[in-house]
Amino acid sequence: MSYSVAVAGASGYAGGELLRMLAAHPEFEVRTVTAHSNAGQPLLSVQPHLRSLAHLTLTETTAETLAGHDVVFLALPHGRSGEVTALLGDSSLVIDCGADHRLTDEDDWAAFYGGEYYGAWAYGVPELIVDGRKQRENLIGATRIAAPGCNASTVSLSLAPGIAAGVIESRDIVSVLAVGPSGAGRSLKTHLLASEILGSANPYAVGGTHRHIPEIAQALRGAGADDVTISFTPVIVPMSRGILATSTAKLSPGVSADAVRAAWQDAYGDETFVRLLPEGEFPRTADVIGANTALMGLAVDQAARRVVVVAAVDNLAKGTAGAAIQSANIALGLDEAAGLSVNGVAP
């Protein structure tokens, strides 16, 4: 069976990555691609690397255009997805790669995003521990899925096993991320110009202001945390894509290094796309570019009594498009790995 697919926001980075992965999917057929200012142009005029989709032309993003497809992926700015999905019927599986349906707390939405709150959908991180089980169970048969924020899912996956097993504390978490500028979207912004970021590392959203903070706290509470405090600092570095997240948390009293490692191994030992590396090994962003993988290295800093998790993710792949497609596969009862690869691109 072939499922008809529409991708809204196809001219952006997330939309382009969705299309790249969907082009290799054995069960999905991309029939419609939409955009805003680029509507009316051939897809190849803005995504020239997608040669197998050369027959597609960008159309306007409207509910009427998207309706009637089996699966609809939305890669739109926050606030825009909610406007569109409110007008879509119930016959399609809809996956939102934006922020509009991630947060369960309307107050968090108001504090970090603002504007109309459109409600929470099933959270599209299958490997995440939620209420003692994996989130993939909540995705089976879902018709509305919120793909995660790339930074949020990277940090949440990094720490959820320790929270669930009780080997780390959920207060006084510190996460510092090196991130590629593609995570900020494709629109022209002065601080993201090559001349501004080449040869430089630039922190942003410092001091608890980043919009992914409530999403991380929400996920860790789902893993079992009573209360979450996190100092979260992203830093733009001169690589087009990728996230290297270094997260540390206090070691729970009386917990051994072996128990710490066992918590992460138990959580991810059978997973295809989230993997714990052997002891003493740590990932590079180069190892995950183009792949639907999150690779993690783990250490216990005995002197500081903290657990250190270093995670590498391609923000456009596993961080966004890959998570969306993986979740769609689960919702439809397909092979979870359909159209997705664990192999990155090197050098």
Answer whether residue 344 is part of any domain. no
pLDDT computed for residue 83 by the predictor:
85
Q: What are phi and psi of 197, to 5 degrees?
A: -110, -20
Q: What are phi and psi of 334, to 5 degrees?
A: -90, 170
Examine the pLDDT at 325 and tell me if it is beyond 90.
yes
> Hey, what are 152's tokens?
């949020």
Instruction: Please give the Cα distance from 314 to 321 (Å, whole number).
Output: 10
Decide which of 69 and 195 is more confident.
69
pLDDT computed for residue 86 by the predictor:
81
pLDDT computed for residue 222 by the predictor:
98
Examine the pLDDT at 326 and tell me if it is beyond 80.
yes
pLDDT computed for residue 46 by the predictor:
96
Question: Mean per-residue pLDDT for 73-91?
Answer: 87
pLDDT computed for residue 130 by the predictor:
97
Question: Mean per-residue pLDDT for 120-130?
Answer: 98
| Enclosing domain of residue 207 | 151-313
pLDDT in tens, 18-44: 999 999 999 999 999 999 989 999 999
> Hey, what are 299's tokens?
């250490």
Residues 128 and 59 occupy one common structural domain: yes
Residues 113 and 202 occupy one common structural domain: no
pLDDT computed for residue 115 by the predictor:
92
Q: Minimal CA–CA distance to 154: which of 244, 50, 282?
A: 244
Question: Mean per-residue pLDDT for 206-229?
Answer: 96
> Hey, what are 44's tokens?
């190849």
Examine the pLDDT at 134 and tell me if it is beyond 90.
yes
User: Taking a C-beta distance cutoff of 8 angstroms, is the pair 73, 18 a contact?
Assistant: yes
User: Taking a C-beta distance cutoff of 8 angstroms, is the pair 296, 277 a contact?
Assistant: yes
Instruction: Please give the Cα distance from 151 to 313 (Å, whole number).
Output: 9
Residues 23 and 65 occupy one common structural domain: yes
Residue 81 sits in a domain whose CATH number is: 3.40.50.720
Q: What proportion of the chain, given as a percentage, has pLDDT over 70?
A: 99
pLDDT confidence tier of residue 190, bands split at 50, 70 and 90: confident
> Hey, what are 206's tokens?
């410092």
Examine the pLDDT at 183 and tell me if it is beyond 90.
no
> Hey, what are 191's tokens?
């601080």
User: Taking a C-beta distance cutoff of 8 angstroms, is the pair 79, 9 a contact?
Assistant: no
pLDDT in tens, 299-321: 999 999 999 999 999 999 999 99
Question: Catalytic pick from 53, 139, 150, 289?
Answer: 150
Examine the pLDDT at 48 and tell me if it is beyond 80.
yes
Q: Average pLDDT over the chain, rounded to whole?
A: 95
User: Taking a C-beta distance cutoff of 8 angstroms, is the pair 237, 201 a contact?
Assistant: yes
User: Taking a C-beta distance cutoff of 8 angstroms, is the pair 61, 38 a contact?
Assistant: no
Residues 141 and 201 occupy one common structural domain: no
For residue 150, indicate whether it is catalytic. Answer: yes
Examine the pLDDT at 185 and tell me if it is beyond 80.
no
Answer whether residue 241 is part of any domain. yes
Answer whether residue 283 is part of any domain. yes
pLDDT in tens, 265-303: 999 999 999 999 999 999 999 999 999 999 999 999 999
Residues 233 and 285 occupy one common structural domain: yes
Total domains, the chain:
2
Residues 101 and 197 occupy one common structural domain: no
Residues 74 and 190 occupy one common structural domain: no
Examine the pLDDT at 188 and tell me if it is beyond 90.
no
